[in-house]
Structure 1
Amino acid sequence: MRLAILTCLVAAGALCAHAAPASAGIKVLVRERTYDITGTTGKALVEAMDRKGPKQGFMTRAIAQTGYVANWDINISREDGVCRLRQADGTLEITYTFPHMASAITPALQKRWKRFFAGTRAHEHTHGRIAREMMRATGKSITGLAFADNLLCSRTRREAKRRISAIYAEYEAKQNAFDAREHRDGGHVEHLVNALIRKR
């Protein structure tokens, strides 16, 4: 499960006759949060995650969650009537939230928990990978942006924002499609939960 926010700051720089070529830089910051669960059976652990997991909407909770915020700081300058994107710096802040085992459990349950947690982590990290791909695609989309424009570079600023929003929408659709596959009946998440609950 994932939450996402996109922000964009587009700044028009002063006239510059010797501006550097357009470029895009991306920085990724990753944080991890946990919430404690306890239980002596797989069923009890699932119930604990249902009670204490990160909120998903108003009424439900998720087992784990990937939240990210994408920020773009864009500098545009004007020369000879043409506005050009001179620099685009993107920052992606990813926050993963995972359950943390806070009680002693049997070796058999520990083995099932490790498999469950590895699958859960892989799911959330896929959300993070898609978000990173979104940032790279955005940088590629806006690099080289240039238009004949007014003194405020209004058209160029609007186009930069439009392209960023379009890439964001495209990759949000990919995030939703991934979740739909993973959470469908009989899907990967159901198998992970069933394997944790089952005694072997």
Structure 2
Amino acid sequence: MDVKQVSVADKARRWIFSVHFCTPIIIIISPRLQILILAFLAASVSACKMNRCYNESELSEAVERKLRSHYHQPPDPLPAADPDSPSSCPVELYQYLAPHEENRRSLSPWRYVLRSMKDHFPSTYSEAECLCSGCILIQDVPGKGRVPVENFSYTSVPIIQSRVFLRRDLCGDGGKYRLTPVSQDVAVGCTCARPMST
């Protein structure tokens, strides 16, 4: 294959590829088209790597590598409660909670519960669950002074963040797995908000 640079009347750069089979063929490609072709090829190679199939022994190493390099995971707050365990709005304890426990001393306190997703990596994660329907406010109560009360003029609402997980999908041959990135909305905390008007 011979590559020659030639000038054209409009002074634009063109590349001529002369390919010799039975008869010479001349293809003129502009620099912009060259860049588009290279970008397309790079995307194709990247897509092939992302859709690679792994056998069972390669899977855990591939998951760890992908989560570390492409899909960084936030640390899970500990401890996380069982989602079926009882919970209540901690109004009585509000003034006595440790200052480093942001989730407990918030106007909209929350706890972390452990969630599971089958065939996903990571397979378990912590998610915030609001403990109150209203918000804890300090108010004057006759005979008690200024005390924390749950005020239902406001609502506790979850703060949602999109998080990427790797889903394990069966490849066509049935013996290997593909790792597909999927987004999942996860509650990371709670905040106090005015109720939505209808």
Larger radius of gyration: 2
Larger helix share, 1 or 2: 1
